[in-house]
Chain A
Amino acid sequence: MRINGQVYNLGLDNRTSLLDALRDHVGLTGTKKGCDHGQCGACTVLIDGKRVLSCLSFAVMNEGREVTTVEGLASADDSLHPMQQAFIDNDAFQCGYCTPGQIMSAIGCISEGHAGSEDDIREYMSGNLCRCAAYPNIVAAILQARDEMRRA
């Protein structure tokens, strides 16, 4: 599969989740494991541009697909993606554990066209839990990034 634009040939046990493949076999630990059962959103990545939960997908099901993780967002010169910058500008995290999942999900939320209003953002970001309850600042960050991404 391609991960962040790079092709990986992985020989994995069929039982390996995409999340474990990314973290334990490819060494991309930015994607976090929260619940491992689809209940928290910490493991959110993009597959072929769509946000999904990597803990509920077997790696082998993603052969030939394009996976984007939080490590793949910054550009080659290390400048941050507008969503990453917006999270920093708006203080949209405390412990940071949910943050990679929030950022990937927020990018999906905007590209799906579900970030029209604050209510929409709250509804369509409900799959990402934050134990630190940084929710208001996360909404603010998404609004900022949405406007910048539209301009870009």
Chain B
Amino acid sequence: MRPFVFERPTNISAAVALVSSFADGRAPTQADVQFIAGGTNLADYMKLGVARPRRLVDLNDLSEPALRQIRISDGTIRFGALVRMGEAADRGDVKRHCPLLAESLKFAASAQIRNMASLAGNVLQRTRCEYFRETSWPCNKRVPGSGCAAMEGLNRQHAVLGTSDACIATYHGDFAQALIALDAVVDVEGRHGTRQIRFAKLHQLPGDTPDVETDLAADEVITAINVPFSEWSRRSRYLKIRDRESYAFALASAAVALDMDGDTVRQARIALGGVATVPWRARLAEEALVGKRLDQSAAETAADAAFAEAKPRRHNEFKVPLGKRTLVRALIETRDMKV
């Protein structure tokens, strides 16, 4: 592991100052500096030699109380960036207003990891592509221009939606699917002040530059995640299908929230995990449901629309039928929820 300088600032502006001062006026990069929260993603990648920051800025001593609070008011749940996954998953009011949010956290990782991992770190977790993790392989995300070993390699875990000729790595996070479905907004603070980013704009499609994963600059710290909710977001759930029943990433998952008028869909929110390169809002599937009676055949039509553009490779063809069945089941189960 590359040696690094370790910093432990005690407020947000000190943290931002630390990442700004480092770069002699030029914009800092992730090789200069990275924040660390739970460390469950970053420490792993530093050990593997994939992440090589020269300076590590620990966020755990930041004293602003809001960073550790979950506040619910006026139809918005505001999650402080340092709230741990386990705490958010266990919160009664979150479960009540938006079961989808709590379930996406409860079925992620393990209890130990959920005690460590922060919500901001969770949404920024990097792919588990085996060739990205092992530095001896060509990988355009790790070393731009070096090629992609997954294209013709073992690509069972890889994405079928949002892929490019440069990269087919899956975005594995679960919580992000709930956030994109509910139109969350992220609060950010950096050397140029504060701003808000729509969650749907936070992650970037791989395109020709799979090394650029988010819209965040290296000096920008996420301070909160805001999730608008309505009466109808009580009718929502997260269905996750994986190789073993617990402590595994999704092969396919579906985040669903339904605004129903009797049997008819007024509005649907759908996101898909385990199958795409970024958190994936399935707008075509949503549109296919609006104004329809939600029965098995309407659900199947929506699922077909969600995967119409899918581009499977040699070992991940199964993700198309699996992803469709996962969405159909999630839609029917959400319709049948007693709320």
Contact = CB atoms under 8 A, between A and B. Distances in A.
Interface in A124-151: 124-128
B138 to A, nearest CB: 22
B47 A52 contact: no
16 contacts: A14-B3, A14-B6, A15-B1, A15-B46, A38-B40, A50-B115, A53-B40, A57-B39, A57-B43, A58-B39, A58-B56, A61-B60, A108-B115, A126-B245, A127-B110, A127-B111
A56 B90 CA distance: 23
A51 B6 contact: no
A14 B53 CA distance: 12
Contact of A127 (B8, B43, B112): B112
Contact of B111 (A17, A37, A58, A124): A124
Interface in A65-84: none
Interface of B: 1, 3-6, 8, 36, 38-40, 43-44, 46-48, 56, 58, 60, 86, 90, 109-113, 115-116, 245-247
Nearest to B2: A15
Nearest to B58: A61
Interface residues of A, number: 31
Contacts of B46: 15
8 smallest CB-CB distances across A and B, nearest first, come from A127-B110, A126-B246, A126-B247, A14-B6, A50-B115, A15-B1, A56-B43, A127-B112
B246 A53 contact: no
B113 A105 contact: no
Given A37-B47, A53-B40, A56-B116, A15 B111 contact: no
